A and B are shown apart, each in its own frame.
Chain A
């Protein structure tokens, strides 16, 4: 997987997390649920792999959410 593709997934995860950061409820749980609902397993696997490798550039909420997907 290219760095460009990974950066795109990180950006998408961060966007989702940022949106749920302000919607009330537990942002990490909501973000994780959203990703599980709408992302194909291959994409989820990639972002989980990215977190395992350090999770560079993922926001704290996005990191917490991806951790729930692992």
Chain B
């Protein structure tokens, strides 16, 4: 194993189809027209010295190190900014060029610390490399002149330092922030010799607008911007490609290692989802893997009142199997079930559902996608024929109009957001439909054409009104509909949406969206060219979540926005492997590949492969399991990688459901909140400690590679396998690739997926089979998966969750950039410096009415429960709407949310809760009680005194 080093071509590739042939030092090379000489030379294998150029950024032409001579032209042009033209003859090394380059380097080095041996970048410094490349032997100017060597180092950011003494002001960091990340937080302040990189208004990085994505650190050619981990540990010596375990973007990273110690995570340039970019979570927030609170030994206890007792793996597995067998004998096999996690690998998820269907003998398996994107599964399968987004992320580069509804990509899917922002800066138009003014509405160099700030819970009314305008204005793509969609259903739908009651004017009183704005947005979506819809949990987590998804598909079908780059319906999946969890048969009604358990032919395939009869009836979903737990009919549960007590709605009810069970098994990294009610704790392994695959939001299957041995002793699939064997259903996999082979044998859309194929292709998007051996970046190209697209009538039905005198405000929830889901990982990293508690955003009018001041504690109460948190007065929310996140267990935001759910899937209606907000002088009684209970629950048996 060696450290993977990328070739830097100096400038980005040209997309031109025409080619030119140039001569570089006598070597002919053919490249796309528009390619820089610098890049053409690298393609020819000639390494021209450079400092300000790197192939992730547009050419800048400032360092003058990459100068060349071109036959027939005067001077020494910078090769980064000079395009190669047909027949051009370039010379990269002459005495004149050598002298020029040495002169440049002399100037740089005359104002640079000569501490290479003790510098953190020693061995990984482009300035050092260039000094060697140009043959720098002395510096004629000496080192005694005016310099920047005493400038103070900015160590404010928890993950990297900025040392201006080592900065050569090449602007790579500034340009990375502008072009790659799109935050524009960095600048070069002052001029000439006083030029200095500055964050925001010359603030410390931590206090600036910097979002700590790491693009600047990656772009820096010196040690000016360096990861603290590199400063502390030293340079890595080998690296492996793996996939981030945070959001559904699925960024590929090089895990750069020294032995088994992770030095840093560097976004992989060839990663198809991220193309070398990252966010603060994937890039830096991996310290949880070795956090002191991680539990590494199994523990059991007879009662949740008891302290935990550490036991061997053998005892833990035997005890769990014994308890599950006892429960099955006493209460029937239907009293058992399991929950798998979208944070786990496909192979682990597949194994958990297999365990349930074979060893438990029922279909009581569900996954956390239940509470986020299950409506996507239902809605897209109904309308299009399969439960997945239609595009790859690259597709956004071809979009002319982007409609973002119920998603906050800059916080939830930041690396995709950077791609999107780049496209918007290039001129694509933006429509945002969201109750909250998300960052995308107005951010540097971006202004949404339309922000339809609707009332929470009215998505269906808004989407149907958009359809009304498209149909009644004659903007339907008749040819597409005629060829690709069910004719009768389209006719019914067109008549339905054309009714006066679905007009923007009629729906304005429901949605709160001014009719003129909605009409203009509809016309832009239908007529602006390639139109793509991106949506998130603000669509799905409603009582009409599935209806909204179908309404979105209707819009895209009516306008012909399917089957090519730049268009489509794109669910932004919250967690890293939501798509995979759904694909792997984690829902209680279907096997892998979305095939219903009642289908005899399908069941026969699985029965033949697994050697046991399988239950033909759908099992219990997560809320049903909890209901049955509270009712006393569901007694044992295996929960892998989920913290349902914190993440699921109506915490009291979740607690009651778990408390009613006799054996709750939590398989996780930490004693999470759910473990408060657990009887068995099985320590899990992190994504760094296991092999497997994740499938991101664009259906891209990518390898997760083991970069260190599991600190807990086993990869998670091994633990599930041990449990299955102890329960009497034998499993004997020796590597997760064998599990994927089984998935491929049993799942038509995965038929071509193997670890060998993933090694060769890097990644692949399903369907991947004989028909699509290289995978499918764009789905439904010539026909929908179900054949003809199905239009569904989408009548708006108001949620039962109503505001009234007692609860006059609507609460909606979401996430923040630095934290992830329930925060189990990110709260155990330095990311807490950006968000150490959940706060309640409230409009100034509502705050004023209630005597609430910014920063004060407030009580947030619904008919379900109450909690207390700090208020933040904000105009991001409209009057009547409040907003919070659910990252911190102390806040327990889900004490407040209700059990109302999507009609089709039971996905909870997190996004609409009627609440009241009032001043508070501290935590609520529930919070204080719960904190004490959780603390008590985490205690272990005191160790025996040594003799």
Interface residues of A (CB under 8 A from B): 1-2, 5, 8, 11-12, 15-16, 18-19, 21-24, 34, 37-43
Contacts and interface: CB of A to CB of B under 8 A. Distances in A.
A31 B631 CA distance: 26
Given A8-B899, A40-B624, A19 B797 contact: yes
Nearest to B631: A5
A12 B363 CA distance: 20
A40 B627 contact: no
A67 to B, nearest CB: 20
Contact of B624 (A2, A18, A43): A43
A23 B792 contact: yes
B318 interface: no
B795 A22 contact: yes
Contacts of B617: 40-41
A30 B543 CA distance: 18
B802 to A, nearest CB: 14
B566 interface: no
A46 B470 CA distance: 44
B543 A40 contact: no
B334 interface: yes
Contacts of B901: 12
Contact of A2 (B547, B620, B631): B631
Interface string B931-946: 0000000000000000
Contacts of B899: 8
Interface string B531-551: 000000000000110010000
A24 B903 CA distance: 17
A42 B334 contact: yes
Nearest to A39: B618
A5 B899 CA distance: 12
3 A-B pairs with the lowest CB-CB distances in the bound complex, closest first: A22-B795, A15-B903, A40-B620
Contacts of B543: 15
24 contacts: A1-B631, A5-B627, A5-B630, A16-B904, A18-B903, A19-B795, A19-B903, A21-B795, A22-B793, A22-B795, A24-B489, A34-B904, A37-B598, A38-B589, A38-B905, A39-B618, A40-B364, A40-B588, A40-B617, A40-B618, A40-B620, A41-B617, A42-B334, A43-B624
Contacts of A22: 793, 795
Nearest to A13: B903
B589 A37 contact: yes
Contacts of B836: none
B596 interface: yes
The secondary structure that dominates the A interface is helix
Contacts of B628: 42
Contact of A8 (B621, B627, B792, B903): B627
A48 B792 CA distance: 28
Given A5-B627, A42-B628, A42-B633, A18 B618 contact: no
Given A1-B631, A16-B903, A11 B800 contact: yes
Nearest to A21: B795
B906 interface: yes
Which of A16, A18, A23 has the most chain B CB atoms inside 10 A of its CB? A23
B631 A23 contact: no
B619 interface: yes
A19 to B, nearest CB: 5
Interface of B: 334, 363-364, 489, 492, 543-544, 547, 588-589, 596, 598, 617-621, 624, 627-628, 630-631, 633, 792-793, 795, 797, 800, 899, 901, 903-906
Given A1-B631, A5-B627, A40-B588, A19 B547 contact: yes
Contacts of A21: 795
Nearest to A34: B904
A2 B643 CA distance: 26
Contacts of A39: 618
B618 A37 contact: yes
A18 B800 CA distance: 12
A29 B335 CA distance: 30
B797 A40 contact: no
B358 to A, nearest CB: 18
A44 to B, nearest CB: 9
B793 A23 contact: yes
A55 B817 CA distance: 48
A66 B795 CA distance: 23
Nearest to A20: B903
Contacts of A15: 543, 903
Given A12-B906, A23-B793, A39-B618, 20 more contacts: A1-B631, A2-B631, A12-B901, A15-B903, A16-B903, A19-B547, A19-B903, A22-B795, A23-B792, A23-B795, A34-B904, A37-B598, A37-B618, A38-B904, A38-B905, A40-B363, A40-B617, A40-B619, A42-B628, A43-B620
A22 B544 CA distance: 13
> Which of B363, B544, B618: most chain A CB closer than 10 A?
B618
A24 B618 contact: no
A58 B747 CA distance: 39
B793 A24 contact: yes
Nearest to A19: B903
Contacts of B795: 19, 21-23
Nearest to B633: A42
Contacts of B598: 37
Contact of A19 (B492, B630, B631, B904): B904
- Which residue, of A5, A21, A40, has the highest number of chain B Cβ atoms within 10 A? A40
A11 B801 CA distance: 13
A53 B546 CA distance: 31
A25 to B, nearest CB: 10
A42 B620 CA distance: 9
Nearest to A11: B800
A23 B628 CA distance: 31
Nearest to B619: A40
A40 B620 CA distance: 6
A42 B631 CA distance: 12
Nearest to A16: B903
Nearest to A22: B795
Contacts of B588: 40
Contacts of A43: 620, 624
Contacts of B547: 19
A38 B906 CA distance: 10
A15 B797 CA distance: 9
